[in-house]
Chains A and B, each alone.
Chain A
């Protein structure tokens, strides 16, 4: 493998593909006319990038500002704190709650991609790859594979960077059939594929375009394009020559593409704990707000389940409405008392001696003999009438709520049929 060369001879894409296939680790430097950019490769994927004329902090700040995650002023202040020894900028970003860990990693990846794209856009310069065992990068970042880099950057730059040409998004492929396919499969091409890639392979049916297969299978489009070139070379698939346009353009930004797998950095247990600690700090920043929301929920539930209408009618001028509601509820209770006592009279020949009589006779439930404000009703009975009173607020006086007599009630009044007073003694004598 050629580990150094010039951009003019187009050796850079071949180097990137070779690094991806062999899983190389090290630093690739590209010296252009105005700048030098260095890429950190970890097992074939780009995990970080740095430029001579732009610090990582500046680049990251630019990305965060573009994403609307952190304003330029805020980032400048963090950067000044960083320069005065206040800690790492990335740590400060998370600690101050500007971004959470996931957003930070995505921004770092975007920044790396943008530098890669810049370098691939150069038309002249030299590159050199330095092999190594370890490279420095932000833990947890999703590595950018060279296939992704070449296909995406090629599309963004309007050039075909991928060796042999990358399949177009709207191009329709079909699987090889019969003996050719069996022979091709025996020759390899499907080995070492994960489940999503196999699903993608099965979806290639001569009808779906590359973009549709990628979308339905969940395989990233650049990777599928790369896999298609492999499968095509192995005779497993073939282009139908047809194109199937998609309504939506391919997303240009790395952040918008869903990663197939979460980042799987090879980190020690200690490093994992530290990363978890950072995430925990991020969550903690949000917890006061959630606690406050929880307090409101509890207060709403308590107020709502004890006295909902008082909570919903809070203004002083709504007191009349509240009292009206209370009054009608008391009326409903009194109406029930009236009916219950009427039935008591019909069954026992007299009104109940107390509300407790009605409750014991199960004519009223135990909660009924109270007005709506929970004030107990006082009941008094005389010969053929009864009254129900309630204590007036902040006063020992009582207001009469209900007064009822058998007189006037044609079903209860025993004197209804008597025409003269002289007929009463007859009844007394009989009794």
Chain B
């Protein structure tokens, strides 16, 4: 269907229904379709394509039914759609769930709550774990004026988002980037706070030194120039903070020095931390990885097969990917494709019990029970701890009329997992039980991709290696310079701590506002660090949405609400400080 003719809004719903049925008919009666040229490695067979085409038709049918506010028909269509999905070895269809949820919100915003409920019900059934479905429910509840329920569903949506691997990775990484930013800013600001307090001693020492040779005004100027020249360098803010931290070293106590070393180490290790984090996110955002992760959870994504093909071109020799693909083919009953891939796995991993079991299932499927017994036996020789393989062997022996051996294998299977065996025996739809070992190899595929990307990132030459790890040795350099400065300044008298620059009536307000400064002046650098950290964390709350990566949810919560949380938090924090200042004075 072309885009120009595809707008569903331009055709009547009846006409669309007819069109849906005709598509269904076309798919259902399709004969021996030619393989798709765009999926050379993971071709979708005729039977699977038929099932997929019927899913498309079911979806269109659901759109029509929901638009007609025919809830019963919509429910039936969803049931059909899910049963077809299960035929393909999958359990959920996230894209359709999201679409249904968003359609429900559209209906609710238009004031049509009945259709909205239809959409929400479908969204929940098509993928009961979708965060978008919960957010849509929250939105609909809010539109109905049920704010308490909306809040509950909203929290539920956030919980689902944290449970969903893709959103969880992004959310956690965003939190990581945000925390990194907050810690870095706090570290640099803490140096500023130390300069505000302890720095006065440093400044006085400089000023006194210069005042031996020049008038007071010139001494001030020289002292200021000596302290501020790094601001003129590229990245001057960072350099100035580091320069000051080195100069302040002799004036600080143990805790202050420990904090300064902590700041250097953190800023020094930042490039490595960020590179690792970015690599992890890059992998999580890589569409083929997203697809195989979804498939391993039983989620049918539209681009699964094209992404698998892409992945196969990236990792052509990967036994993990071949095993994964084999399991996918087996689930879709494309047994010949599965057999080829299982064989490929076994050429590299000859003792792979899951692949041997998969191949045994293939031979069972084609009634080559002799081969099936051989492969199941090899699988057991490799790993006899799986009740599934014993059960499969028992079934195969049964087909070969070797009932004694069948009974013995069944007993062994029961010893390993009696409940599961009873369940398998009651399931009349299948005779053999897979291990799904390939579907559990997503982590292996990710590791292989990561290793390949690392190889690509490697730049030859000692200089690049040195530069990459330069930041951390710099910390040792800073420490060395600091100790040298300390030893040099030991020869002359250091200025004593200068306390109390507050002398006006607005003391209390200033002490409350300048978080960290009164604490540092009072000789409590730890408290100063905490005060600065809390202040920066609260102030930087709205940055969560901008410093990290876009979260892969549609119509999800926006970070705008964090501005309010940030403002309220800051007011509370400053109010508490103000109150404490008053209490301390009493």
- List the interface of chain A (C-beta within 8 A of B): 65, 67-71, 74, 77, 95-100, 102-103, 279-280, 283, 285-286, 288-290, 292-297, 299-301, 303-305, 308-309, 311-315, 317-318, 321, 324-325, 327-329, 331-333, 335-336, 338-340, 342-343, 346-351, 362-363, 365, 368, 381-384, 407-412, 414, 416-419, 423, 426-427, 430-431
Which of B234, B237, B282, B304 touches A296 (beta carbons < 8 Å)? B237
For the complex, give the distance between the alpha carbons of A300 and B516 in Å.
15
A-B pairs, 3 with minimum CB distance = A417-B27, A417-B53, A314-B235
Contacts of A410 in B (CB 8 A): 44, 49, 52, 55, 300, 302-305
Q: Distance (Å) between the CB of A97 and the closest chain B CB?
A: 5
Chain A residue with the shortest CB-CB distance to B18: A430
When A296-B244, A325-B274, A325-B278 are in contact, do A351 and B30 touch as well, CB less than 8 Å? Answer: no
Contact (Cβ within 8 A) B287 A97: no
Which of A309, A314, A324, A339 touches B554 (beta carbons < 8 Å)? A339
When A283-B501, A308-B184, A350-B3 are in contact, do A68 and B26 touch as well, CB less than 8 Å? Answer: no
For the complex, give the distance between the alpha carbons of A297 and B24 in Å.
66
Q: Distance (Å) between the CB of B311 and the closest chain A CB?
A: 13
Q: Distance (Å) between the CB of B531 and the closest chain A CB?
A: 13
Which of B59, B237, B547 touches A300 (beta carbons < 8 Å)? B237
Contact (Cβ within 8 A) B192 A293: yes
For the complex, give the distance between the alpha carbons of A71 and B235 in Å.
38
Contact (Cβ within 8 A) B227 A292: yes
Contact (Cβ within 8 A) A318 B185: no
Report 20 cross-chain contacts, Cβ distance below 8 Å, ordered by A residue: A97-B208, A292-B195, A300-B188, A305-B540, A308-B185, A312-B184, A321-B271, A325-B278, A331-B285, A343-B98, A346-B99, A363-B555, A411-B93, A416-B27, A417-B57, A418-B33, A419-B32, A419-B34, A426-B22, A427-B23
For the complex, give the distance between the alpha carbons of A309 and B181 in Å.
8
Contact (Cβ within 8 A) A349 B1: yes
Contact (Cβ within 8 A) A324 B278: yes
For the complex, give the distance between the alpha carbons of A286 and B31 in Å.
90
Which of B27, B494, B501 touches A68 (beta carbons < 8 Å)? B494
Most interface-central of B50, B57, B208, B558 (chain A CB within 10 A):
B208
Instruction: Give the contacts of B446-475 with A (CB-CB under 8 A).
Output: 464, 467-468, 470
Contacts of A279 in B (CB 8 A): 503
Contact (Cβ within 8 A) A427 B26: yes
Contacts of B33 in A (CB 8 A): 418-419
Q: Distance (Å) between the CB of A260 and the closest chain B CB?
A: 18
For the complex, give the distance between the alpha carbons of A301 and B241 in Å.
13
Contact (Cβ within 8 A) B558 A342: no
Contact (Cβ within 8 A) A69 B496: yes
Contacts of A331 in B (CB 8 A): 282, 285-286
B350: Cβ under 8 A from any A Cβ: no
Which of B4, B54, B290, B503 touches A383 (beta carbons < 8 Å)? B4
| 0 or 1 for each of B50-64: is its CB under 8 Å from A? (1 = yes) | 101111110100010
For the complex, give the distance between the alpha carbons of A84 and B422 in Å.
109
Contact (Cβ within 8 A) A98 B208: yes
Contacts of B220 in A (CB 8 A): 288
When A95-B216, A383-B3 are in contact, do A416 and B282 touch as well, CB less than 8 Å? Answer: no
Contact (Cβ within 8 A) B55 A411: yes
Q: Distance (Å) between the CB of A427 and the closest chain B CB?
A: 6
Contacts of B185 in A (CB 8 A): 300-301, 304, 308
Chain B residue with the shortest CB-CB distance to A362: B555
Which of A292, A311, A430 touches B19 (beta carbons < 8 Å)? A430
For the complex, give the distance between the alpha carbons of A97 and B205 in Å.
9
B76: Cβ under 8 A from any A Cβ: no
When A95-B216, A96-B211 are in contact, do A350 and B6 touch as well, CB less than 8 Å? Answer: yes
When A312-B238, A328-B549, A350-B7 are in contact, do A335 and B285 touch as well, CB less than 8 Å? Answer: yes
Chain A residue with the shortest CB-CB distance to B560: A365
When A65-B493, A303-B237, A305-B543 are in contact, do A290 and B200 touch as well, CB less than 8 Å? Answer: yes
Q: Distance (Å) between the CB of A224 and the closest chain B CB?
A: 25
Contact (Cβ within 8 A) B192 A384: no
Contact (Cβ within 8 A) A301 B189: yes
Contact (Cβ within 8 A) A68 B496: yes
Chain A residue with the shortest CB-CB distance to B244: A296
Contact (Cβ within 8 A) B216 A96: yes
When A98-B208, A313-B270, A318-B271 are in contact, do A335 and B27 touch as well, CB less than 8 Å? Answer: no
Number of interface residues of B (CB under 8 A): 127
Q: Distance (Å) between the CB of A321 and the closest chain B CB?
A: 6
Q: Distance (Å) between the CB of A197 and the closest chain B CB?
A: 21
Contact (Cβ within 8 A) A292 B228: yes
Instruction: Give the contacts of B158-206 with A (CB-CB under 8 A).
Output: 170, 181, 184-185, 188-189, 191-193, 195-196, 199-200, 202-204
Q: Distance (Å) between the CB of B403 and the closest chain A CB?
A: 43
Q: Which of B8-16, B362-370, B379-387 lies at the interface with chain A? A: B8-16
Contacts of A283 in B (CB 8 A): 501, 503
Chain B residue with the shortest CB-CB distance to A331: B285
For the complex, give the distance between the alpha carbons of A289 and B220 in Å.
9
Q: Distance (Å) between the CB of A331 and the closest chain B CB?
A: 5
Chain A residue with the shortest CB-CB distance to B549: A332
Contacts of B264 in A (CB 8 A): none
Chain A residue with the shortest CB-CB distance to B550: A332
Instruction: Give the contacts of B108-129 with A (CB-CB under 8 A).
Output: none
For the complex, give the distance between the alpha carbons of A68 and B6 in Å.
87
Contact (Cβ within 8 A) B305 A408: yes
Contact (Cβ within 8 A) B493 A431: no
Chain A residue with the shortest CB-CB distance to B9: A348
When A335-B552, A410-B302 are in contact, do A286 and B200 touch as well, CB less than 8 Å? Answer: yes
For the complex, give the distance between the alpha carbons of A283 and B270 in Å.
38
Contacts of A339 in B (CB 8 A): 95, 98, 552, 554
| 0 or 1 for each of B490-532: is its CB under 8 Å from A? (1 = yes) | 0011111011110100000000000000000000000000000
Q: Distance (Å) between the CB of B118 and the closest chain A CB?
A: 14
Contact (Cβ within 8 A) B501 A363: no
Contacts of B181 in A (CB 8 A): 304, 308-309
Most interface-central of A98, A280, A363, A410 (chain B CB within 10 A):
A410
Contact (Cβ within 8 A) A71 B492: yes
For the complex, give the distance between the alpha carbons of A409 and B53 in Å.
11
Contacts of A99 in B (CB 8 A): 496
Q: Distance (Å) between the CB of A409 and the closest chain B CB?
A: 4
When A286-B203, A414-B1 are in contact, do A347 and B102 touch as well, CB less than 8 Å? Answer: yes
Which of A313, A368, A409, A417 touches B23 (beta carbons < 8 Å)? A417
For the complex, give the distance between the alpha carbons of A414 and B59 in Å.
12
Contact (Cβ within 8 A) B550 A329: yes
For the complex, give the distance between the alpha carbons of A308 and B503 in Å.
36
Contacts of A348 in B (CB 8 A): 6-9
Contacts of B15 in A (CB 8 A): 431
For the complex, give the distance between the alpha carbons of A309 and B57 in Å.
48
For the complex, give the distance between the alpha carbons of A346 and B93 in Å.
12
Which of B3, B23, B32, B290 touches A381 (beta carbons < 8 Å)? B3
Which of B30, B227, B275 touches A417 (beta carbons < 8 Å)? B30
Q: Distance (Å) between the CB of B336 and the closest chain A CB?
A: 19
For the complex, give the distance between the alpha carbons of A33 and B202 in Å.
46
Contact (Cβ within 8 A) A414 B23: yes
Contact (Cβ within 8 A) A347 B34: no
